[in-house]
Amino acid sequence: MTHDQYAFNDPRTRYPSISPPVQQQQEPGIQSKMDPVPDLGETTYRGSGRLTGRKALITGGDSGIGGAVAIAFAREGADVAISYLPEEEEDAQHIVSQIENAGRKAVAFPGDLKDKDYCLALVDAAVKGLEGLDIVVSNAGKQVYVEKIEDLSDEQFEETFQTNVFAMFWIIKAAVPHLKPGSTIIATASLEAYHQLPFLLDYATTKGAINNFSKALAQQLAPRGIRVNAVAPGPTWSALQVTQGYPPDKLPEFGKDAPLGRSGQPAELAPAYVFLASGESSFVVGETLNVNGGTPTP
Protein backbone atom coordinates (compact mmCIF):
# COMPACT_ATOMS: atom_id res chain seq x y z
CA MET A 1 0.00 0.00 0.00
CA THR A 2 2.19 2.83 -1.21
CA HIS A 3 -0.56 5.42 -1.47
CA ASP A 4 -2.01 5.08 2.02
CA GLN A 5 -3.33 8.00 4.05
CA TYR A 6 0.15 8.79 5.35
CA ALA A 7 1.72 9.31 1.91
CA PHE A 8 2.84 12.84 1.04
CA ASN A 9 0.25 14.10 -1.44
CA ASP A 10 -1.28 17.13 -3.10
CA PRO A 11 -4.83 17.35 -1.70
CA ARG A 12 -6.11 18.73 -4.99
CA THR A 13 -5.10 15.61 -6.85
CA ARG A 14 -4.85 12.87 -4.22
CA TYR A 15 -8.24 11.82 -5.56
CA PRO A 16 -9.32 12.72 -9.08
CA SER A 17 -11.70 15.63 -9.64
CA ILE A 18 -14.59 13.51 -10.91
CA SER A 19 -17.44 14.67 -13.16
CA PRO A 20 -19.98 11.94 -12.48
CA PRO A 21 -22.36 11.22 -15.36
CA VAL A 22 -26.02 11.98 -14.75
CA GLN A 23 -27.39 8.86 -13.05
CA GLN A 24 -30.22 8.02 -10.73
CA GLN A 25 -31.19 5.14 -8.44
CA GLN A 26 -34.03 4.57 -6.06
CA GLU A 27 -33.35 5.35 -2.36
CA PRO A 28 -31.23 4.16 -0.59
CA GLY A 29 -29.18 3.23 -3.66
CA ILE A 30 -26.65 0.48 -4.24
CA GLN A 31 -23.15 1.88 -4.10
CA SER A 32 -21.59 -0.81 -6.29
CA LYS A 33 -23.85 0.35 -9.16
CA MET A 34 -22.57 3.94 -9.03
CA ASP A 35 -20.36 5.48 -11.71
CA PRO A 36 -17.70 5.94 -10.48
CA VAL A 37 -17.88 3.66 -7.43
CA PRO A 38 -16.94 5.71 -4.32
CA ASP A 39 -13.56 4.99 -2.74
CA LEU A 40 -13.93 3.71 0.83
CA GLY A 41 -10.21 3.19 1.33
CA GLU A 42 -10.33 -0.53 0.53
CA THR A 43 -6.88 -0.46 -1.06
CA THR A 44 -5.41 2.47 0.86
CA TYR A 45 -6.39 2.68 4.55
CA ARG A 46 -3.54 1.53 6.77
CA GLY A 47 -4.32 0.96 10.44
CA SER A 48 -1.88 1.31 13.30
CA GLY A 49 -3.71 -0.11 16.30
CA ARG A 50 -5.41 3.13 17.28
CA LEU A 51 -8.67 1.37 18.24
CA THR A 52 -7.31 -1.93 19.48
CA GLY A 53 -9.98 -3.97 21.24
CA ARG A 54 -12.70 -1.35 20.82
CA LYS A 55 -16.31 -2.24 19.98
CA ALA A 56 -18.13 0.06 17.58
CA LEU A 57 -21.65 0.48 16.25
CA ILE A 58 -21.96 2.42 12.98
CA THR A 59 -25.35 3.25 11.48
CA GLY A 60 -25.45 3.26 7.70
CA GLY A 61 -22.21 1.29 7.73
CA ASP A 62 -22.87 -0.44 4.40
CA SER A 63 -21.68 2.32 2.09
CA GLY A 64 -20.25 5.80 1.74
CA ILE A 65 -18.84 7.50 4.81
CA GLY A 66 -20.16 4.85 7.22
CA GLY A 67 -18.63 2.08 5.12
CA ALA A 68 -15.27 3.86 5.01
CA VAL A 69 -15.42 4.36 8.79
CA ALA A 70 -16.19 0.65 9.29
CA ILE A 71 -13.16 -0.37 7.22
CA ALA A 72 -10.90 2.11 9.03
CA PHE A 73 -12.14 1.11 12.49
CA ALA A 74 -11.60 -2.59 11.76
CA ARG A 75 -8.09 -1.97 10.44
CA GLU A 76 -7.38 0.05 13.61
CA GLY A 77 -8.33 -3.03 15.65
CA ALA A 78 -12.03 -2.59 16.48
CA ASP A 79 -14.88 -5.07 16.15
CA VAL A 80 -17.71 -3.42 14.24
CA ALA A 81 -21.51 -3.69 14.08
CA ILE A 82 -23.24 -2.01 11.14
CA SER A 83 -26.84 -1.10 10.44
CA TYR A 84 -28.32 -0.67 6.96
CA LEU A 85 -31.56 -1.16 5.06
CA PRO A 86 -32.39 -4.73 3.94
CA GLU A 87 -32.20 -3.72 0.27
CA GLU A 88 -28.53 -2.76 0.83
CA GLU A 89 -27.44 -6.32 1.68
CA GLU A 90 -24.97 -6.46 -1.23
CA ASP A 91 -23.13 -3.31 -0.12
CA ALA A 92 -23.28 -4.48 3.51
CA GLN A 93 -21.64 -7.81 2.65
CA HIS A 94 -18.80 -5.95 0.97
CA ILE A 95 -18.14 -4.12 4.26
CA VAL A 96 -18.57 -7.28 6.37
CA SER A 97 -15.88 -8.99 4.32
CA GLN A 98 -13.59 -5.95 4.68
CA ILE A 99 -14.03 -6.06 8.47
CA GLU A 100 -13.40 -9.80 8.58
CA ASN A 101 -10.38 -9.53 6.28
CA ALA A 102 -8.94 -7.13 8.85
CA GLY A 103 -9.25 -9.96 11.36
CA ARG A 104 -12.07 -8.35 13.31
CA LYS A 105 -15.62 -9.40 14.19
CA ALA A 106 -18.48 -8.00 12.11
CA VAL A 107 -22.13 -7.83 13.15
CA ALA A 108 -24.60 -6.96 10.38
CA PHE A 109 -28.09 -5.99 11.54
CA PRO A 110 -30.42 -4.68 8.81
CA GLY A 111 -33.58 -2.70 9.45
CA ASP A 112 -35.36 0.64 9.16
CA LEU A 113 -34.10 3.36 11.51
CA LYS A 114 -37.43 5.17 11.28
CA ASP A 115 -38.75 2.37 13.51
CA LYS A 116 -37.90 2.95 17.18
CA ASP A 117 -38.19 -0.75 18.04
CA TYR A 118 -35.58 -1.55 15.40
CA CYS A 119 -33.24 1.12 16.84
CA LEU A 120 -33.50 -0.44 20.30
CA ALA A 121 -32.99 -3.95 18.88
CA LEU A 122 -29.96 -2.68 16.96
CA VAL A 123 -28.20 -1.48 20.12
CA ASP A 124 -29.07 -4.78 21.77
CA ALA A 125 -27.67 -6.77 18.83
CA ALA A 126 -24.47 -4.72 18.84
CA VAL A 127 -23.93 -5.13 22.59
CA LYS A 128 -24.62 -8.88 22.45
CA GLY A 129 -22.76 -9.52 19.18
CA LEU A 130 -19.67 -7.52 20.15
CA GLU A 131 -19.87 -8.42 23.86
CA GLY A 132 -19.94 -4.76 24.80
CA LEU A 133 -19.95 -1.35 23.18
CA ASP A 134 -17.69 1.70 23.51
CA ILE A 135 -18.00 3.62 20.22
CA VAL A 136 -21.27 4.78 18.68
CA VAL A 137 -21.22 6.45 15.27
CA SER A 138 -24.54 7.93 14.16
CA ASN A 139 -24.05 8.24 10.43
CA ALA A 140 -27.13 7.04 8.52
CA GLY A 141 -29.01 9.82 6.81
CA LYS A 142 -31.80 10.73 4.42
CA GLN A 143 -31.33 13.52 1.85
CA VAL A 144 -33.89 14.19 -0.87
CA TYR A 145 -33.85 17.51 -2.72
CA VAL A 146 -37.07 19.47 -3.25
CA GLU A 147 -36.92 22.89 -4.91
CA LYS A 148 -40.05 24.48 -3.41
CA ILE A 149 -41.47 24.32 0.11
CA GLU A 150 -44.94 23.81 -1.39
CA ASP A 151 -43.69 20.54 -2.88
CA LEU A 152 -41.99 19.31 0.29
CA SER A 153 -44.45 16.74 1.64
CA ASP A 154 -45.23 16.42 5.34
CA GLU A 155 -44.30 12.77 4.94
CA GLN A 156 -40.81 13.56 3.65
CA PHE A 157 -40.23 16.23 6.30
CA GLU A 158 -41.17 13.69 8.97
CA GLU A 159 -39.10 10.85 7.49
CA THR A 160 -36.00 13.05 7.18
CA PHE A 161 -36.31 13.96 10.85
CA GLN A 162 -37.02 10.36 11.89
CA THR A 163 -33.97 9.07 10.04
CA ASN A 164 -31.49 11.84 10.82
CA VAL A 165 -32.57 13.05 14.26
CA PHE A 166 -34.99 10.67 16.02
CA ALA A 167 -33.03 7.49 15.22
CA MET A 168 -29.85 9.17 16.48
CA PHE A 169 -31.65 10.05 19.72
CA TRP A 170 -33.18 6.58 20.19
CA ILE A 171 -29.90 4.78 19.50
CA ILE A 172 -27.67 6.98 21.64
CA LYS A 173 -30.20 6.97 24.48
CA ALA A 174 -30.29 3.17 24.42
CA ALA A 175 -26.50 2.90 24.10
CA VAL A 176 -25.46 5.24 26.93
CA PRO A 177 -26.22 2.79 29.77
CA HIS A 178 -23.71 0.39 28.15
CA LEU A 179 -20.93 2.97 27.71
CA LYS A 180 -18.20 3.04 30.32
CA PRO A 181 -15.88 6.04 30.83
CA GLY A 182 -13.55 6.37 27.84
CA SER A 183 -16.32 5.57 25.38
CA THR A 184 -16.97 7.91 22.47
CA ILE A 185 -20.01 9.01 20.49
CA ILE A 186 -19.70 10.62 17.07
CA ALA A 187 -22.62 12.24 15.25
CA THR A 188 -22.63 13.13 11.58
CA ALA A 189 -23.62 16.70 10.82
CA SER A 190 -22.89 18.40 7.49
CA LEU A 191 -21.65 21.55 5.83
CA GLU A 192 -25.41 22.04 5.39
CA ALA A 193 -25.57 22.94 9.08
CA TYR A 194 -23.79 26.19 8.11
CA HIS A 195 -24.27 26.67 4.34
CA GLN A 196 -27.80 25.65 3.48
CA LEU A 197 -28.60 24.70 -0.09
CA PRO A 198 -32.12 26.06 -0.74
CA PHE A 199 -33.37 22.73 -2.09
CA LEU A 200 -32.29 20.81 1.04
CA LEU A 201 -34.65 22.56 3.46
CA ASP A 202 -35.59 19.55 5.58
CA TYR A 203 -32.14 17.96 5.42
CA ALA A 204 -30.25 21.15 6.34
CA THR A 205 -32.61 21.66 9.28
CA THR A 206 -31.83 18.18 10.64
CA LYS A 207 -28.09 18.74 10.26
CA GLY A 208 -28.28 21.92 12.37
CA ALA A 209 -30.19 19.90 14.95
CA ILE A 210 -27.59 17.11 14.95
CA ASN A 211 -24.82 19.63 15.53
CA ASN A 212 -26.64 21.20 18.48
CA PHE A 213 -27.64 17.82 19.88
CA SER A 214 -24.02 16.67 19.93
CA LYS A 215 -22.82 19.84 21.66
CA ALA A 216 -25.51 19.74 24.35
CA LEU A 217 -25.07 16.00 24.94
CA ALA A 218 -21.28 16.46 25.07
CA GLN A 219 -21.65 18.74 28.07
CA GLN A 220 -24.03 16.30 29.73
CA LEU A 221 -21.82 13.23 29.28
CA ALA A 222 -18.33 14.74 29.72
CA PRO A 223 -18.64 14.61 33.53
CA ARG A 224 -19.37 10.88 33.09
CA GLY A 225 -16.21 10.33 31.04
CA ILE A 226 -18.00 9.84 27.73
CA ARG A 227 -16.98 12.15 24.90
CA VAL A 228 -19.41 13.32 22.23
CA ASN A 229 -18.25 15.02 19.04
CA ALA A 230 -19.44 15.43 15.47
CA VAL A 231 -17.99 15.28 11.99
CA ALA A 232 -19.39 17.68 9.39
CA PRO A 233 -18.63 16.35 5.92
CA GLY A 234 -18.71 18.57 2.86
CA PRO A 235 -19.55 17.32 -0.65
CA THR A 236 -18.63 13.63 -0.63
CA TRP A 237 -19.25 11.21 -3.50
CA SER A 238 -21.79 8.69 -2.16
CA ALA A 239 -25.09 6.97 -2.91
CA LEU A 240 -26.98 9.84 -1.28
CA GLN A 241 -26.11 12.03 -4.26
CA VAL A 242 -27.57 9.67 -6.89
CA THR A 243 -30.83 8.91 -5.03
CA GLN A 244 -32.48 12.34 -5.39
CA GLY A 245 -30.09 13.82 -2.84
CA TYR A 246 -28.85 16.31 -5.39
CA PRO A 247 -30.37 17.60 -8.65
CA PRO A 248 -29.33 14.92 -11.21
CA ASP A 249 -28.39 17.40 -13.95
CA LYS A 250 -25.94 19.09 -11.53
CA LEU A 251 -24.09 15.84 -10.65
CA PRO A 252 -21.18 16.46 -13.10
CA GLU A 253 -20.39 19.65 -11.14
CA PHE A 254 -20.88 18.11 -7.68
CA GLY A 255 -18.31 19.47 -5.21
CA LYS A 256 -16.34 21.50 -7.74
CA ASP A 257 -17.07 24.73 -5.86
CA ALA A 258 -15.08 23.55 -2.83
CA PRO A 259 -11.77 25.43 -2.45
CA LEU A 260 -9.92 22.20 -3.32
CA GLY A 261 -11.93 22.14 -6.56
CA ARG A 262 -13.34 18.64 -6.19
CA SER A 263 -15.70 16.49 -4.16
CA GLY A 264 -14.26 14.27 -1.44
CA GLN A 265 -14.24 10.48 -1.29
CA PRO A 266 -15.63 8.62 1.76
CA ALA A 267 -12.07 7.38 2.40
CA GLU A 268 -11.09 10.98 3.20
CA LEU A 269 -13.70 11.22 5.96
CA ALA A 270 -12.76 8.07 7.87
CA PRO A 271 -9.60 9.42 9.59
CA ALA A 272 -11.65 12.17 11.27
CA TYR A 273 -13.90 9.52 12.85
CA VAL A 274 -10.88 7.45 13.89
CA PHE A 275 -9.37 10.50 15.60
CA LEU A 276 -12.57 11.34 17.49
CA ALA A 277 -13.19 7.69 18.46
CA SER A 278 -9.72 7.03 19.80
CA GLY A 279 -8.14 8.05 23.08
CA GLU A 280 -5.77 10.42 21.30
CA SER A 281 -8.60 12.99 21.16
CA SER A 282 -9.15 12.74 24.94
CA PHE A 283 -9.44 16.53 25.43
CA VAL A 284 -11.70 17.10 22.40
CA VAL A 285 -15.33 17.34 23.52
CA GLY A 286 -18.38 18.90 21.89
CA GLU A 287 -16.38 19.72 18.76
CA THR A 288 -17.48 19.56 15.14
CA LEU A 289 -14.66 18.47 12.89
CA ASN A 290 -15.28 19.90 9.42
CA VAL A 291 -14.01 17.76 6.55
CA ASN A 292 -15.25 19.66 3.55
CA GLY A 293 -12.48 20.56 1.13
CA GLY A 294 -11.95 24.02 2.51
CA THR A 295 -15.22 25.92 2.89
CA PRO A 296 -14.97 28.15 6.00
CA THR A 297 -17.41 27.38 8.80
CA PRO A 298 -18.29 29.26 12.01
Active site residues: 203
- Contact with ligand NAD (CB under 6 A) among 47, 233, 271, 293: 233
Distance CA 227, CA 240 (A): 28
Does residue number 188 form part of the binding site for Mg ion (CB under 5 A)? Answer: no
Residue with smaller CB distance to ligand NAD, 116 or 132: 116
The dihedral built from the CA positions of residue 35, 240, 170 and 76, taken in this order, carries a sign that is positive
To the nearest 10°, the Cα dihedral for 197, 203, 204, 210?
Answer: -160
Contact (CB, 8 A) for 104 and 80: yes
Residue 238 interacting partner from ligand NAD, Mg ion, none (CB closer than 5 to 8 Å by kind) = ligand NAD
Contact (CB, 8 A) for 58 and 70: yes
Which residues between 81 and 110 bind Mg ion (CB under 5 A)?
A: 88
Residue 89 interacting partner from ligand NAD, Mg ion, none (CB closer than 5 to 8 Å by kind) = none
The dihedral built from the CA positions of residue 156, 161, 167 and 170, taken in this order, carries a sign that is negative
Residue with smaller CB distance to ligand NAD, 181 or 198: 198
- Contact with Mg ion (CB under 5 A) among 62, 79, 134, 268: 62
Within 10 angstroms of residue 4's Cβ, the number of other Cβ atoms is: 12
Does residue number 85 form part of the binding site for ligand NAD (CB under 6 A)? Answer: yes
Distance CA 176, CA 221 (A): 9
Residue with smaller CB distance to ligand NAD, 5 or 188: 188
Q: Which stretch binds ligand NAD (CB under 6 A): 4-12, 170-178, 186-194, 211-219?
A: 186-194
Does residue number 193 form part of the binding site for ligand NAD (CB under 6 A)? Answer: no
Residue 201 interacting partner from Mg ion, ligand NAD, none (CB closer than 5 to 8 Å by kind) = none
Q: How many residues bind ligand NAD (CB under 6 A)?
A: 32
Contact (CB, 8 A) for 242 and 250: no
- Tell me how far CA of residue 137 lies from CA of 1, 238, 263, in angstroms: 27, 18, 23
Chain residues binding ligand NAD by CB under 6 A are 28-29, 31, 60, 62-66, 83-85, 88, 112-114, 139-143, 163, 188, 190-191, 233, 235-236, 238-240, 266
Chain residues binding Mg ion by CB under 5 A are 62-63, 88, 239
